[in-house]
Structure 1
Amino acid sequence: MSNLVRFPEASHVYQHSEVQLDHDLGAAILNMAPQPRPSFTPALLADIEAFQQEVADRIRQQQAQGRTPDIRYTVLASNLEGIYNFGGDLNRFVELIRAGDRQGLLDYALACVRAGHQFSVGLDLPVTSLALIEGRAQGGGFEAALSCNVLIAERGTQMGFPEVLFNLFPGMGAYSYLSRRIAPSLAERMILSGRLYEAEELYEMGAVDVLAEPGEGRETLAEYIREAEKHNSVHGLLRRIHSAHNRVPFEELRDITELWVDSALRLSERELRTMERLVRAQDRRISVDANQAR
């Protein structure tokens, strides 16, 4: 990436991410770095909401002043080596389900849905959203990437939906976004399989838009944007057509999320323990990656 600066005039204090502006590319970039594990923590969701709002405010202000907006792309990426995002905050899920807290579970799920929907519609502005996957993306992490208009992934990275392992489905946009990229029957097969797919396989299916060589994701992202800028009128028209005829309505996402919440509240103690085992597996993966990075 080139000419990177910290996002100017940001009023929000970003706790679980780093936000940058690339003036050369016209891109605002949110690099996720949630703690203690790479999931969609409430703090990360608050960062994403603030990022989307601050980008939208900046663009609208520049438009009102008769200026050409300096942001035309948003990028959802990760600062974590080898990991994009593991998805939902499983610890929080277990606590809320055991407490029977439907409203708490729904509030969390809708925050995830709103974030994805805003990326999917380009903030309802002349903005293209891009996801850059340089490490494993699963569950809600894969959902978030699929919500973006363009998905770029490095070869060898893995993506998938493990929710079936604890008798649940990815309920915050997976089916809606995936079935608009590939055949609905294939989307269902992927969700039910619970397996991880290689980026190359997903590219052949049509779920991934652009493949990058390992370690070259950022360069490939910049190349994609530069090429898109050369044909910006065509890209703009396609974005308008997509918005008019292939847009995912928020109401669709909300209704599916309601089903997810009610299904989650019916999980057995055995299935909740499976969820907890996945959390421990995530912790082990983080520990191994941290040791290898030393």
Structure 2
Amino acid sequence: MLKPYKNFDVNYFPENELVLWKIKSEGIPNFSIDKLREFKRFSEDLKVMFADENYPLKYIVSGSDCDGIYNLGGDLPYFYGSILNRDRAKLEEYAHLCIDAIYNMYCSFDLPAITIATVEGKAYGGGFECVMAHDVIIADAQAQFCLPENKFNLFPGMGAYSFLCRKLNINAAMEILYSGSVYGAEELGKKGLIDRVIASENTLSSVVQYIEESRSNFNFQSAHYKSIKRVFPLQKSELLDITNIWVDSCMQMEQADLRRMELIINAQQRRMGIKGYTLQ
């Protein structure tokens, strides 16, 4: 079986042919460098275990164990400290690990499975990008989505452009990328980005219901998502090129931009009951 992880809860439900991985939240529920490094190991373990036909798998489902938050995205204190210290190498490592994670999700971890994101609460920045890497998005009616990077003169560099410009018409994609607005699940459902909006306190039961409804149709659905990816192919090199532009942009940030980033860091930490941030 899969080993225990520090930053993720992972459970296998053979009766549903389903793996559920949840992001643990210690401090701000974001993607820290430690989470990203461990996610790379988790991805490799997943591929090895489920290459074994004794562990049938059709669905890989993501979620969060933090009430009200799926994920707030990038580790802003880490960015802030790296930019202040002019440490480009740290930003590049972080960005490339993000792309490793995003592309593994997009490719269903090289397994014959459908990926499903279950979103409860806020999915902001990189959290939103993570969601969009999945085949299917199921969101609680109260879930919120946002790409807030332009509030501190940066842009979402870990997949947002690639996914939104493939999933939506160009005007709808540009609106979400440029506005920095918060979108509800219903609104994104109408745009065609979210597959199912649920009004349930037990999202996992809704996922199981979705799977039960679609089980007899799995062969079609699996081929359907593979075909979409063939018609609108996404190469890892595209994601890496864009995230390298993101690193360049980080290094061009001015003091006023960093001050706005600092205000968001402080707001996040107040919400989580954390006093002061630590530069890394």
The residue type equivalent to 1:215 in the other structure is E
Q: Distance between the aligned counterparts of 1:245 and 1:226, measured in 2?
A: 28
Pairing partner for 1:37 from 28, 39, 42 = 28
What are the equivalent positions in structure 2 for 1:170-249 lying under 5 Å apart? 170-249=156-235
Q: d(CA) in 1 for partners of 2:95 and 2:190? A: 30
The correspondence of residues 88-99 of structure 1 with structure 2, limited to 5 A, is 88-99=74-85
Aligned-partner residue type, residue 201 of structure 2: G
| 1:78 maps onto 2:64 in alignment | yes
The answer (yes or no) to whether the contact 1:106–1:261 under 8 Å persists in 2 is yes
**RMSD value, Cα:** 1.5
1:121 to 75, 98, 107: 107
1:140 counterpart = 2:131: no
Q: State the 1:46 CA deviation.
A: 2.6
Native 8 Å contact 1:28 1:55 kept in 2: no
Aligned to 2:277: none
The residue type equivalent to 2:5 in the other structure is Y
Higher alpha-carbon deviation: 185-194 or 147-156 = 185-194
The correspondence of residues 253-292 of structure 1 with structure 2, limited to 5 A, is: 253-287=239-273
Task: Name the CA distance, whole Å, in 2 between partners of 1:225 and 1:246.
Answer: 25
Q: Which residue of 1 aligns with 2:278?
A: none
CA distance in 1, matches of 2:116, 2:38: 17
For the residue of structure 2 that corresponds to 1:231, the secondary structure is helix
5 Å-filtered alignment, 1:144-155, equals 144-155=130-141
Specify whether residues 9 and 87 from structure 1 end up closer, same or farther in structure 2 by C-alpha distance, changes over 3 A only.
closer
Q: Counterparts of 2:137 and 2:2 in 1: how far apart (Å)?
A: 28
Name the CA distance, whole Å, in 2 between partners of 1:105 and 1:280: 21
Offset of residue 266 of structure 1: 0.5
**Which sits farther off after the overlay, 271-280 or 84-93?**
271-280
- Secondary structure of the residue that 1:20 maps to in structure 2? strand
Aligned counterpart for 2:40 among listed residues 30, 38, 49: 49
Return 5+ residue gaps in structure 2 as ranges: 275-280
Name the stretch that deviates more: 25-34 or 146-155: 25-34
3-state SS of the aligned residue for 2:139? strand
Aligned to 2:144: 158
CA contact (8 A) 1:55 1:71 kept: no
SS at match of 2:166: coil
1:61 aligns with 2:52: yes
User: Equivalent residue for 2:86?
Assistant: 100
Tell me which amino acid in the other structure corresponds to 1:270: A
- Alignment TM-score, normalising by the size of structure 1: 0.89
Letter of the aligned partner of 1:95 in structure 2?
G
Number of equivalent positions: 274
Question: Gapped runs of 5+ residues in structure 1?
Answer: 1-7, 289-294
Higher relative contact order (CA 8 A, sep 6+): 2
Q: Distance in 2 between matches of 1:243 and 1:179?
A: 13
After TM superposition, give the deviation of residue 9 of structure 1 in Å.
4.0
TM-score (norm 2): 0.93
1:96-117 alpha-carbon deviations (Å, 9 max, x no partner): 1111111210110111111011
SS at match of 1:110: helix
Q: CA deviation at 1:247?
A: 3.0
Deviations for 1:73-102, whole angstroms, at most 9, x for unmatched residues? 111100000110000000000111111111
Per-residue displacement from partner, 1:128-178 (whole Å, max 9, x unpaired)? 111110111100000000011111100021101110100111000011112
Aligned-residue sequence identity (percent) comes to: 32
Report the secondary structure of 2:167's partner residue: coil
